[in-house]
Amino acid sequence: MIRTEEMLLNVGPQHPSTHGVFRIVLKIDGETIIEAQPVIGYLHRGTEKLAENLQYTQIIPYTDRMDYLAAMTNNYVICHAVETMMNLEIPERAEYLRVLVMELGRIASHLVWFGTYLLDIGAMSPFLYAFREREAIIGLLNEISGARLTFNYMRIGGVKWDAPEGWIEKIREFVPYMREQLSGYHDLVSGNEIFLNRVKGVGLYSKEEALDYSLSGANLRCTGISWDLRKDESYSIYDRFSFDVPAFDSGDAWARYQCRMAEIEESLKIVEQAVEQFPENGEIMAKVPKIIKPPKGEAYVRIESPRGEIGCYIASEGKKEPYRLKFRRPSFYNLQILPKLLVGENISNLITILGGIDIVLGEVDG
Amino acid sequence: MPSENDGKSPGSELKKQAAAEAKAKALELAKQRALEKKEENENSSHEMSIEERKKKAVAEAKAKAAELKALREKEEAPSTNDSLADDKAKAAAKAKAAAAAKAKAAAAAKAKAAREGAGDPSDPAADEKAKAAAKAKAAAAAKAKAAAAAKAKAAREGAGDSSGPSDEKAKAIAAAKAKAAAAARAKAAAAATKAEEPAEEQKPSPLQPLLDRYVSLIQKALGEDVLEDSYINRLSRDVPTLVAKPDTYFKVAQLLKHHGELRFDYLSELHATDFETHLEVYNHFYSYSHRSPVALKVKINREEAVIDSLAPLWAGADWPEREAFDLLGITFTGHPNLTRIMMPDDWVGHPLRKDYEPYDVEV
Amino acid sequence: MMNHLLSSPPGWIHAAIFFGLGACLLVIVLGFVTYAILAERKVLGFMQLRPGPNRVGGRFGLLQTVADVLKLLIKEDTIPKLADKPLFILAPVLAFAPAFMVLAAIPFSEHLKFSDLSIGLLYYIAISGITTVGILMAGWASNNKYSLLGGMRSAAQMISYEIPLVISVIGVILFSGSLNLTDIVNGQEKVAYIFLSPLGFIVFFISSIAELNRTPFDLPEAESELVAGYHVEYSGFRWAFFMLTEYVYLFAMAALTTVLFLGGWKPIPFLGFIPGIIWFALKFSVIVFFMIWIRGTMPRLRADQLMEFAWKVLLPVALLNIFVSAVVKELFLR
C-alpha cells in the first residue's frame, strides 16, 4: 500500500541558515510547507529584567548585545530615551560623532546581511567580499571606541571618546572606496539570473499586511511605503543631511534586497555630509549629573535601526535605575509575519524569506 | 509606583487633585515621623499647609509606616544606605503578601532570608540586617498581610467604581508614600512640589489640539466615560496619551484603528509594566494615513490580570502580547495563540513582575 | 603495451596485470582527488580573498588533504541507532564503485587506456547512473528527514539531467559515427567538436555540473537548507567515500568532456611536439578550473527551477543541437 504522509521538520535551533538560535517547526508535504510554527527564546537573556537593577549608564553595554550587528543604534536608542526625558542638549560634535558611527554601523550591518543572504542562497563569495568592507568599517569603529562588535560607545549626554587623529580623514577616504565596491556587488550579484529567479516574487506581501504585522525598516519600505524615522520623525541631527528614503513597490525579497543596497548608498551620503560638516572642535559630552536620574514619568522613543524601528520605553521613578525598561526590538516584530509567508512555499524559499526579513536573534529574544 | 501622580496633565483636574493629595500626604507623614524620630527632624520645617483628607487611607498608611519603621529601626546601621534598606523592607512586606496568593509560601521565608543575605555579600552589616529583617518580618507578617489585603481590596473597589479614581489613586499614593524612605522624606516632599511646578508653568503642547480631537472623536463615538484619562506625555515627545478603562479598552482600540479620521493602522509597540498597584499595558500606535501618533494605556487589576487582546485588530500585536503574557502574566482574551514565548513552557512565575521570585527547589 | 594487452586472450596473468594497473589508476585517481580538493580550496580561496590551506605541508598546504584523510580514517564511525544498518553501510560503496568503474572507459592518451569498449560512451552514462541509487539509499537509510529530502532531490535531479546530458552528446556521435571514445578523439584530428557543436557543449557542460551536484546545482547537499543533505548522518571514512565519489566524478566528468569536445590528447596545431598526455592534462585542468570558478560565482537554484531548467530549456536545446549537428555534418563534413 502506498500512502503519503505529512512530515514534521524541525529547522533549528542549530541550523546554518537560521542566523543564530532560531527554530521553526515545519509541517511539510514533500518539500512544500503546510504550516510553520516559529519557536524563539533560546537567546533570551532578560535584558529588561536586568536593567531594572542597573543604573542607566550600566545598561548601555547590555544594549550592545541585543542587535549585535548594529550596536551603535542600540546604544543610541537608550541614550536618546533618557536624554528625551531629561531634555538634555547634546553638544554638536557629539551628535556628529553619533551620526557617523551609527551610519557606519548601518552600512556594516547591511553588509553582513548582504553576505549572509547570498550565503543562504548558495553563493559563497559575496559573503567574503562583504566582510572585507565590513572589516574596514569595524576597524574605523574600533579606532574610536576600542571595540569591534559591542562598542559601548555612547553615553547619556554624548559619547565616550573623541575622534582620534586622522579618523575623519579615513572616513573621507572610505566613502568612495565603499561606493566602488558596492558597484562591484551589483555587477556580481544584482544582475545574476539565478539570484533574480530566487528572490523575485518570493515572500510577497502587500502594504496593508506590512502595516498590520507591524513591520518596519526595509521590510516596510519594500512595499512602497517611504517611511524612515530619520526623516519622518527626525531625531539627532538627521534633518541637516539630504538623503533619500529608498522604497520599492513589489513587496518581495527582491525589493527588500534593492532597499537595503540603496540604503547603503544613502548612508554613505549621510556619512559624506557629516564628514564635511564635522565641527573642528567642541565638547563631546553635555553637562550631565554624575548619577543620571530622569524625572518621574514615562517615555517611549523610537529611532531607525538597520533592521527597522527600534524603540525604548522607560518608566522612571526618578531613581538612578529605571523602574521598567522595554525595548521595541524590530527583529522581534518583523519576524511575526514569517509563518504567514511560509505557507505553501518550498523549503528553499524558507531560507530566502527568512534571510530577507533580516533578523538578529539577539534582538528577537531580547 | 504609580505614575499617575506626576501631575503632568494640564487638562485634568483629577490629576492635579491627586498630586496635591500626594503632596499633602507626604508632608503629613513627614511631620508625623519627624516627631517620632527625633534625630532626623530637619524635615519638620515643611508645614502642613494643605488640609487633611481621606482619613481611612492615612490610617492605613500610618499602620504601614509604623510597621516599616519598626523594621527600619532594627536594621538601621550607621553606614547603611537608607533607600537600600527601605527597598528591602518593602520587598519583604510585598513578597509576604504575594506569597499567600502564590502558594509557594512554604519555602518563601527561608529563601527570602537567604536571598537577602546574599544580596549584599560584601557588606558585613547585611547579614545582621537580613536576620533582623527576617525576625521583624515574622512579627509584622500578620499586619503586613492585612494591610496588603485591605489595599488590594480598596484598589479593586476603586477600579470598579468609575466615580472614585481619585480616591483609589490617593490611597495608592498614600500607601506608596508611606513605604518611601524615611530619610528621603524631605526629598519626597520636594519631588512632589517639583512635580507640581511644571504643571503650572507649562505652555500648552503643540500636540494638544491633536489630543483634544482624539478625545472628542472617541467620546462622540463611544460615550463620555470610556476614557479614564487623557494627557500629553511631555517626557515622551509630547505624545498624546489616552488611558482606557479595561472594559472599554478594546472598543477604543477598535475605534482608533477603524475610524476614518483616526486610522491608526500601525502598532508600533505593545508592552506591559508592573506598577505594583496595578499592571499597565502600553500601546504606541501610528497612523500612516494621517502621520500622527497616539499612546493608549490601560490599567489592569494585578491579581486578576485579564484584558482583551488586540491581535484581532493588529496582527502585529500577536507576539508582543505573548511576551506580556509570558513575562507579566497578563491574559489576553481573544488571542489566537497565547503561550509562553521567551521562557520555557513549564516555567513557573512571570519574571517581570516586581514580586517575582525564581521558583527553584535547589535554591 | 596497453593495446597489446587489450587484444591478447584472457588469462590469470592477464588478470593480475590488469588488477595491478587498476590499483595504479586508483592511486593516481586518489592522488588527483587529494590535489583537486586542495586546488579547489586554493582557487576558491584566491577568488574569495583568503589564503586557503597554508599550514600542513608548507606554504601551499600540500599535505592538507592528506591530513584530512588521516583524520577521517581515525575518526569514530557512527551509525544512528534507528538507521537501516545494511543499507547505511552499503550506500557509500554503491555510490563510490561506479565512480571508479567509469574511469575504465576513458582513454587518457593514445596509449594510456584501460579498455577499448566500442560502446564506451554508453557504458559511462549507464554506470554513472548507479551512483544515484547509492545516494538515494544513503538518504533513506540514515532515517533523517534532511537526508531523505537530500536523497530525493538528488534522485530527481540526476535523472532529469541525465537526459539532456545524453542527448547533447548525440551531435558528437553523429560527427564521429562511433560510441567508442578513442574513435571520438581520433575524429577530432582536424577540429575539436566544441567548435562543431558549441550548443551541445554548453548543454553538456551545464548538465555535467548538475550531475556532479556542484554549485549552482548542489541542491542535494544544500548546506544552508538541508544542512548537508543525504550524507548528514555519515561520519569518518563512510563520509569520505561520498567525498571521494564526488571528486572522482569530477575527475571522470572533466576527462569525458575533454575527450568528447576538446579533442582529448590531440594537440593544438603546430604544438604537436608536446606529448599527448600533457595536452590531455591541460585541457582537463581548464575544465576543472571552470567548474571551480562557477562554484565561486553562482548562487544556488531552487528545486522547481532546477527541474524547469532541465526540461524546459536544456532538453529542447539539446534536441535542437541534434538537428543543427546533422545539418552541420551534411553541409561541412561530407
Q: How far is B101 from chain A (nearest CA, A)?
A: 22
- Asked if C223 is an interface residue toward chain A (Cβ–Cβ < 8 A), one would say yes
pLDDT of C101 above 70: yes
Which residues from C are below 8 Å from A198, CB to CB?
299-302, 305
DSSP state of C57: T
Which residues from C are below 8 Å from A17, CB to CB?
224-225
Mean pLDDT on C236-263: 86
Residue among C277, C244, C324, C304 at smallest CA distance from C106: C277
Determine the length of chain C: 334
The whole-number pLDDT of residue B82 equals 46
The whole-number pLDDT of residue A110 equals 92
Complex prediction ipTM: 0.87
Which residues from A are below 8 Å from B233, CB to CB?
297-299
Q: pLDDT-based confidence at B28, cuts 50/70/90?
A: low
The whole-number pLDDT of residue C111 equals 74
Instruction: State whether B235 and A324 contact (CB < 8 Å).
Output: no
Under CATH, what is the fold of the domain A44-349? Cytochrome-c3 Hydrogenase; chain B (1.10.645)
Of all residues in chain B, the one with the smallest CA distance to A209 is B315
pLDDT of B122 above 70: no
Instruction: State whether A298 and B236 contact (CB < 8 Å).
Output: yes
Query: Residue A28 has which C-alpha cell?
Result: 511539510
B and C adjacent (3 or more CB pairs under 8 angstroms): no
Q: Which long-range contacts (CB under 8 A, 24 or more apart) does B322-326 make?
A: B323/A332, B323/B271, B324/B270, B324/B271, B324/B272, B324/B281, B326/B350
Query: Residue B357 has which C-alpha cell?
Result: 521570585
In this complex, which chains have at least 3 CB pairs below 8 Å with chain A?
A: B, C
| pLDDT tens column, B125-163 | 444 544 544 454 444 444 444 455 445 444 444 444 444
**Cα(B158)–Cα(A146) distance, integer angstroms:** 54
Instruction: State whether A313 and B3 contact (CB < 8 Å).
Output: no
The whole-number pLDDT of residue B84 equals 45
The whole-number pLDDT of residue A134 equals 92
The whole-number pLDDT of residue A138 equals 92
- Asked if A327 is an interface residue toward chain B (Cβ–Cβ < 8 A), one would say no
Give the residue extent of every domain in chain A: 44-349
Which sign does the torsion angle of CA A302, A303, A305, A307 carry?
Answer: positive
Mean pLDDT on B267-279: 89
C and A adjacent (3 or more CB pairs under 8 angstroms): yes
Q: Which of B273, B315, B343 sits opposite A212 (nearest CB)?
A: B315
| pLDDT tens column, C68-99 | 888 888 888 888 888 888 888 888 888 888 88
Q: pLDDT-based confidence at B46, cuts 50/70/90?
A: very low
Residue with grid cell 574605523, as numbered in its chain: A140
Tens digit of pLDDT per residue, chain A (366 long)? 678 788 888 887 888 777 778 888 989 887 888 889 898 888 888 888 888 888 888 899 998 888 888 889 999 999 998 988 888 888 988 989 999 999 999 999 999 999 999 888 888 888 899 998 999 999 999 999 988 888 889 988 888 888 888 899 999 999 999 999 899 888 888 888 888 888 888 888 998 888 889 898 889 899 988 888 888 888 888 888 888 888 888 888 899 999 999 999 999 999 999 999 888 888 888 888 888 888 888 889 989 999 889 999 999 888 888 999 999 999 999 999 999 899 888 888 888 888 888 888 888 887
Q: pLDDT-based confidence at B201, cuts 50/70/90?
A: low
Alpha helices in A150-294 (DSSP H): 167-185, 193-199, 207-212, 218-221, 229-232, 253-277
The whole-number pLDDT of residue A112 equals 92
The whole-number pLDDT of residue B33 equals 59
| pLDDT tens column, B153-198 | 444 444 444 444 445 554 544 444 444 444 344 444 444 444 444 4
Alpha helices in chain A (DSSP H): 47-51, 56-64, 71-86, 92-121, 125-145, 167-185, 193-199, 207-212, 218-221, 229-232, 253-277, 330-334, 338-342, 347-357, 361-365
pLDDT of B105 above 60: no
| pLDDT tens column, C258-293 | 888 888 887 877 777 777 788 888 888 899 888 888
How far is residue C136 from each of residues B213, C3, C142, C154, measured CA to CA in Å?
A: 68, 38, 10, 7
Tell me which of B78 and A155 has the higher pLDDT. A155
| pLDDT tens column, C178-217 | 888 888 888 887 778 888 888 889 999 998 888 888 878 8
Q: Which helix (H) or strand (E) holds B157?
A: helix B124-160
The whole-number pLDDT of residue C17 equals 82
B33 within 8 A of B65, measured Cβ to Cβ: yes
